[in-house]
Every structure is written in structure tokens, then in C-alpha cells.
Amino acid sequence: MTFDYQIAVIGGGSGGLTVAAGAASFGAKVALIERKTELGGDCLHYGCMPSKALIQAAKEVKESAKYAEWTEDEYKKLFKSAMERVADALQDVQEHDSKDRFINLGIDIYEAEGTFLDEHTLQVGEKTITAKRFVIATGSSPAIPPIDGLEEGDYLTNETIFSLNQKPSSMVVIGGGVIGVELAQAMSRLGVDVTMIEGSEQILSKEDKEIASLSQRLLSEELNILTNAKAERVEKNGDQVHIHYKKDGAQNSITADTILVAAGRKANIGSLGLDKAGIVTEKGSIQVDATLRTNKKHIYAVGDCNGSMPFTHVAGMEGKIAVSNAVLGLSRKASYEKIPWVVYSNPEIYHLGLTEEEAQEKYGEDLLTFKTKLADNDRFMAERKKEGLVKVLTTDRGKIVGAHAIGEGAGEWMQEVGTVQALNKKFQSISNVVHPYPAKNNVVSQTADLYWREKLFGSKWNDLIRWYVKKWR
């Protein structure tokens, strides 16, 4: 049987673009199907990029000497210019993902929704195309919780918030996960009165508890956080919305100009016609094995649509593996143990591997925990950025099983631990690397020193060393 293409990639976001460019570079005939006019997906248009541009603009507003004195009119102007800055940043980054770049690689781009007609045929707008192999990379969308009246309440999501051209006076953020935290803090710094409603006991429930708790305490200085609280009903009243919620069993309500829903994600699979191709799903996402193959051996799924870990760097990693497997015929497996992420709040949170609670359960007595407060580090002291913590979890022999930090710039300086782990080195090896003083990553080597302190001075070795020094040196 002959096909129009060797590889058809559905979705032109982080995962799909990695696959399309990689496959074309290896000489495959590639079709790229994207339903939006521009390539780049969520990360570029409604996710990582606009949120990071907004966070930086809001940080600068907060750090201005005038912060406490801005008037409402000034805040309105600052808000508008922050949003313009977001739009400019997106424009610049869009050039990286321009269609021309991919067309020049020999890729045929279809601007249409892709829907399977059978396991080798795709409806693409008015046309049908066939392909020998497919990679689905259709991403995810905001999950909208079933809250009475929400639909009529004109809520915002990550897909609409970056288009606001007027500052709301007040906002209720439903969901205290990563999206909720990053955007709530930025909005608050731009002069919006923000209340966050989170169903769990603590915000950032995927983080190490101690880190999340410190983050919550610091964020509480900037916004109103309600935990153990569930939004249940929304009522529109003129230009405002009433949000009725239950907190610790009691009914309450709050009024705001607008609502941001940041309550998790759902895979974009509804329009794919997966049943026509016989592709199996699991918990609302496309089921894949470790080689990223679906139950149909010639169809792969990467990125948010397969429900693994919804991050751009994961979509990229999976995209590269899909290229090796679908184009070169290898059987490389995706592994998620060594994947870090960062919450870009201020201060930032770095997360790698198991939390202390998870590591305790898995390793029990074999677990060692090394902690340094930023207040015990010269650089953080000098910069008056003392709030924060580094926590590294290892086995007795120093194998890194988890690493977490909260602190100014933690996403950058903590990656040293991630690199050491990825290179299969022990945590204590960081101690042997000379760090320039007083770079912020000194706090990481300071934490690694604790391993040696524990081993050399906190055990029977200590007596032996003392005996040796006394007797022989």
C-alpha cells in the first residue's frame, strides 16, 4: 500500500513541532496538521511564554520603589503596558515557530482540524490524506469544573486572560495549582485584588509539603488564599460575579469582577475520531506504552494529550523519542524519573523526583534528607532574599531520589542537582566541585557538604578519624 506521507503529525505545538522538524531532518516525507492559523501551540500562545512575560512585568512593578504608592489610575496603565509587553514577547517568539521555517524543511502544513477516518486516513478540512505512521500531539485545554452558573459567569482561562486589555479590580482564581499560583500572584502585583479558592488542604499539592507550605505563607502576603474550599455556584450580577463556596463545611460567598478557572487540564482528543482509528484512551487521555506507541503500533502520541506530565520540556523529550521510534524504527523508552519542573512564582519552586513524603514511603530508613535554609547562605543574606529552603533526598549511598527548593531564582541554580542526577552521579560529588563565591548555587554545594558531615562526623567513622589524627598525625 502506498501513502501520501511517511509521517503525519497532528498538532503544531511543542511536541508536534519537535516531531515534524526531527522527522523531516531525517529525510521523511512529513505532513503537519494544525487547526490554528499560527504554529506554536499552548506554550507559545496561552501558556509558558505569555505567563512568563506577565510574571516578569508584574515582578518589576512589585520591585519598583513606588510599589506601595501606585494609584488606581497608575495601576490601570501599568496593567495595560504589561499586557502590551506580553503581546510583544509573543510576537518575537512566534518568529521561531514561523510556518516558513517548517516549510523550508520540506514539511507540508495543513491549516485544518485533523480527524481520523480510519487508521491510515485523516480528514484534513476538505481534503483527505493518508500516512504510514502518525504522531498525535494535540495538547490539552483547561478543564472546567462542573460549577453551577459558571458558564453564564463569563470566566477567564489561560486562553483568554492574556487578552485582557483592562485591569479588573478583583478576581477569584479557582484552583491553587501551578497555573493558579503563577497567574494569581502576577495579577495581584498588577493591582488586582485576588482571592484564590483551592479544594485541597494546601495549594500546590504536587509539591513537597514543607515547600508548598512556605510558598503559601509567602503568597498569603500578596493575595487572599482559601484552602479546603470548593467553588460550588456562580451567580452573575451586572458587571460582577458572586462565587458561592464551601470552606471547612460552611457556606460562604465572595464577589469579584471576574473569575479565572485554573482547575487542571483535559486532553484535546474530542475531535480526533479516535474510535475510527481504533485508538484506546485511558482516563480521558490517549493510552501509550513506554515507547509512546498507542495500541495501534503505527500511531504514537506525545505531549499533553497522552496524560504523562503536562510540561513543554516533556512534550519535547517525548517528541524526540517518537522521532527515533517512528522514523528510525528504534524502541527508545520514555522515562519520567529525572524530569524537573519549576513553578515560576516569586520566589520560584524547583521540583525533581519524589517529595519527602513519597520518598519516606518508598525508602523508609534508607532515606537521608539534607536541608539548608537560604538564611544560612551568604549571597541570599547579602541580597536580603532570605526566605527559602533547599531540600535534597538521597539514599544512604547518596543516590538522588528527590530535590526541592524554594527561593529567588531556584529554577536556575537547583538544576545543578538535576544534572548530577541525570549523569548518574551521587549527590555528594557536588561537594567536590569548586563553586565561585558567592554564586547562588553555593547553597547547593553547602547542602551537599552535609552528606559528608553526616557520614564523617555523625557516625562511627568520626571516632576512628579522631583516633587516627590523635595517634598518627
Ligand X SMILES: NC(=O)c1ccc[n+]([C@@H]2O[C@H](COP(=O)([O-])OP(=O)(O)OC[C@H]3O[C@@H](n4cnc5c(N)ncnc54)[C@H](O)[C@@H]3O)[C@@H](O)[C@H]2O)c1
Give the separation between CA 100 and CA 112, rounded to whole angstroms.
17
Does position 408 bind ligand FAD by CB under 6 A? no
Does position 343 bind ligand X by CB under 6 A? yes
User: Grid coordinates in use for 222?
Assistant: 500578596
Binding to ligand X in span 193-222, by CB under 6 A? 197-200, 205
**Chosen from ligand X, ligand FAD, none, partner binding at 180 (C-beta under 5 to 8 Å by type):** ligand X
271 is in an annotated binding site: no
User: Grid coordinates in use for 95?
Assistant: 518568529
Element (H, E) at 235: strand 229-237
Q: Please report how many Cα atoms fall inside a 13 Å half-sphere around the Cα of residue 412, on the Cβ side.
A: 7
Residue 321: φ, ψ to 5° = -65, -40
Q: Which residue has the cell 566541585?
A: 433
Does position 307 bind ligand FAD by CB under 6 A? no
314 is in an annotated binding site: no
Contacting residue, 303, 388, 398, 407, with ligand FAD by CB under 6 A: 303
8 Å CB contact between 162 and 83: yes
173 is in an annotated binding site: no
Contacts within 8 Å (CB) and 24+ apart, 427-430: 427/370, 427/392, 427/394, 427/398, 427/399, 427/400, 427/451, 428/398, 428/452, 428/455, 429/398
Q: Are strands 229-237 and 240-247 parallel, antiparallel or unpaired?
A: antiparallel
Binding mask 14-33 for ligand FAD (x = CB under 6 A): xxx----------------x
Binding to ligand FAD in span 317-346, by CB under 6 A? 344
**Chosen from ligand FAD, ligand X, none, partner binding at 272 (C-beta under 5 to 8 Å by type):** ligand FAD
CB-wise, 12 or 175, nearer to ligand FAD?
12
**Chosen from ligand FAD, ligand X, none, partner binding at 35 (C-beta under 5 to 8 Å by type):** ligand FAD
Does position 265 bind ligand X by CB under 6 A? yes
Q: Are strands 114-118 and 121-124 parallel, antiparallel or unpaired?
A: antiparallel
Q: Which residue has the cell 526566605?
A: 387
Give the separation between CA 385 and CA 375, rounded to whole angstroms.
8
27 is in an annotated binding site: no
Question: How many Cβ atoms from other residues are within 10 Å of residue 87's Cβ?
Answer: 13
Binding to ligand X in span 163-182, by CB under 6 A? 174-180, 182
284 is in an annotated binding site: no
436 CA to centre of own chain: 30
Do you find a cis peptide bond into 146, omega within 30 degrees of 0?
no
**Chosen from ligand X, ligand FAD, none, partner binding at 323 (C-beta under 5 to 8 Å by type):** none
User: Grid coordinates in use for 284?
Assistant: 480521558
Does position 96 bind ligand FAD by CB under 6 A? no
179 is in an annotated binding site: yes
Does position 353 bind ligand FAD by CB under 6 A? no
Q: Which residue has the cell 543574606?
A: 381
In 3D, which of 175, 297, 152 has the Cα closest to residue 245? 175
CA angle, residues 230, 232, 238, in degrees to nearest 5? 120
69 CA to centre of own chain: 33
CB-wise, 49 or 192, nearer to ligand X?
49
Contacting residue, 9, 28, 231, 354, with ligand X by CB under 6 A: 231
CB-wise, 157 or 295, nearer to ligand FAD?
157
**3 state SS of 149:** coil
Contacting residue, 185, 216, 312, 415, with ligand FAD by CB under 6 A: 312
Does position 54 bind ligand FAD by CB under 6 A? no
Does position 179 bind ligand FAD by CB under 6 A? yes
151 is in an annotated binding site: no
Binding to ligand FAD in span 121-160, by CB under 6 A? 137-139, 158
Does position 145 bind ligand X by CB under 6 A? yes
**Chosen from ligand FAD, ligand X, none, partner binding at 273 (C-beta under 5 to 8 Å by type):** none
Question: How many Cβ atoms from other residues are within 10 Å of residue 317's Cβ?
Answer: 21
CB-wise, 353 or 398, nearer to ligand FAD?
353
Element (H, E) at 244: strand 240-247
Q: Which residues bind ligand FAD (CB under 6 A)?
A: 10-16, 33-36, 41-43, 46-48, 51, 113-114, 137-139, 158, 179, 268, 271-272, 303-305, 310-313, 315, 344
For the annotated binding site, the residues are: 52, 114, 138-140, 175-182, 198, 264, 304
Which residues does the annotation place in the binding site for NAD(+)? 175-182, 198, 264
**Which residues of this protein are in contact with ligand X, per CB under 6 A?**
145, 147, 174-180, 182, 197-200, 205, 230-231, 262-265, 310-311, 341-344
